[in-house]
Amino acid sequence: MAEDPETLPQLHHTPFGYGGASTGGSTNRSSIYIVSNHTQLREALALPFTKTIYCTLATCEYYTAATSGASSQFDFILYLLSLNATYVSLVEDARKNATEYRALLGHQNGWRPVVSNTQKAQVGFTLTNNTSLIGMGKGAALNGINLYLSSVDNIWDCFPAPETFPSSFDAVGLVTATNVWVDGCELQDQLSGEYVQPDIIDPGWQVDRFDGLFDCEDGTDNVTAPRDLGKMHFTIFGNHFNNSASRNPTMRFGTFDVYANLFEDINDNEPRFGANLKRGEDVPLDAVFEYHLGVYNQSTVQLRDNVFLQSGKVPDDTSRIFTISEATIPELPATVCIRDSSVPPTLNGADIELGSIAQDTVDWFVDEGDSAKGAVLVTCEDVAVGDYQTFETVQEVTRYVLREAGPTS
């Protein structure tokens, strides 16, 4: 359905950073489509020419529920229980009265991939080259939908709306995609915005029901929001990571400029290391999979003008700002650069030594035997300075992010 471009929503920002070369789809009247359900969205996305799609609401929540509910013997809770050896032993001890139930538990792990493939056929939406996908109206949303960008170029995703996603897929997944601009999006667990708590498996392992919100892999390059170290350039600028439990982001192989973001979370977990460490006897330290910045294999990460806010039972803990991967190697080390600026790193308004925190994290992983010495370097040597908007105070960064991140009116 075509529409007069002058009557459609206007975007507030233009691409910059590594994704600055993207131009999006055509805005000629014949190339504009307005969709209001998942069927129309799938048809519009499949069109093989440059286009701009405005979407009010598309939902696949029915398919997400239908593959794990009353119509199916697979159930996510039963799947988790089937992995709990203590629980399964109790069921087996019940013997005869629990025979059918024990058999049902035994099938869950085998049924899960079948259910996953059924979901994927219904909730996965593939984008083609030269496409802009833009939310239209305050109630715009993609609910229970996975956007899949595979081997495509020149994509704009400017969707001022919440997005939810099913357990096996990312809300937005990029594979070998280039020149992608993601702006004005809210990515969250469910349409209400409420955080979905992880399930707990004894002795305290946290299992998240969902996969990633935004995932880039396999040579994806030139994005603002085979493992070729010359590719995969990302700008992560002006985002509000609000109670996102982990991967804010996780960074593998690429070059990442993480500038002027607001990281806000609730922390009820004891520190992993440091003077205030209280090592529990029952729960492994790595059972709580929560952190902000994951510095993984051969990545180059540059940080500047970022602000951290933390509440909860342990609001002053800095041991979960970073995590690193055991797969990093000294021969091809990852690099963390804490760039000096007018805005010092802060936690709840107090200055923190982010470089020292990064180094302490690296040292802890080495001491625990989970990383090799020299596999992650904390240095700005040979790291090019990013050219982005600058700020003078923590308050200025905070105001900018709260004003510009997510939907704008």
Nearest to 241 by CA among 286, 307, 288: 307
Q: How far apart are CA 106 and CA 365, in angstroms?
A: 36
pLDDT-derived band of residue 392, with 50, 70 and 90 as boundaries?
very high
Contact 24, 52 (CB under 8 A): yes
Copy the structure tokens of residue 155. 């994509």
pLDDT of residue 111: 61
pLDDT-derived band of residue 67, with 50, 70 and 90 as boundaries?
very low
What pLDDT digit, counting tens, does each position of 169-218 carry?
Answer: 667 878 778 888 888 777 776 666 566 666 666 656 565 555 566 666 65
Q: How far apart are CA 77 and CA 80, in angstroms?
A: 5
What pLDDT digit, counting tens, does each position of 331-377 carry?
Answer: 889 999 999 999 999 999 999 999 999 999 999 999 988 889 999 99
Copy the structure tokens of residue 53. 């799609």
- Using the structure block, give the residue that is written with the tokens 């996975």: 146
pLDDT of residue 177: 84
Q: Give phi and psi for 124, each to the nearest 5.
A: -85, 130
User: 16-20, 26-30, 56-60: which range is least confident on average?
Assistant: 56-60
Nearest to 255 by CA among 225, 295, 299: 299
Residue type, 12: H
Q: Give phi and psi for 264, each to the nearest 5.
A: -130, 130
User: 55-59, 224-228, 280-284: which range is least confident on average?
Assistant: 224-228
Q: What does DSSP assign to residue 96?
A: G
Q: Per DSSP, which regions of 90-198 are E strands? A: 124-126, 131-135, 141-143, 146-150, 153-158, 172-175, 178-182
Instruction: Classify 244 in phi/psi space as left (phi over 0), alpha (psi -120 to 50) or beta.
Output: beta
CA 175 to chain centre: 15
Kindly report the average pLDDT of the chain as a whole number.
78
Contact 18, 174 (CB under 8 A): no
What pLDDT digit, counting tens, does each position of 127-178 carry?
Answer: 889 999 988 887 788 887 788 888 888 888 876 554 555 445 667 878 778 8
Q: Per DSSP, which regions of 188-341 are E strands? A: 199-201, 205-207, 214-217, 221-224, 233-237, 240-242, 250-251, 255-259, 262-266, 293-295, 300-304, 307-311, 322-324, 334-338
pLDDT of residue 333: 92
Q: Which residues, at least 6 apart from 132, have a Cβ–Cβ distance to it below 8 Å?
A: 24, 25, 27, 51, 52, 53, 155, 156, 157, 158
Copy the structure tokens of residue 115. 């259910």
What pLDDT digit, counting tens, does each position of 245-271 carry?
Answer: 777 788 888 899 999 999 999 998 888
Residue type, 204: G
Residues in the chain: 409
pLDDT of residue 348: 96
Nearest to 158 by CA among 186, 128, 136, 185: 185
- Using the structure block, give the residue that is written with the tokens 């601009």: 181
Instruction: Provide the whole-model pTM.
Output: 0.68
pLDDT of residue 130: 93
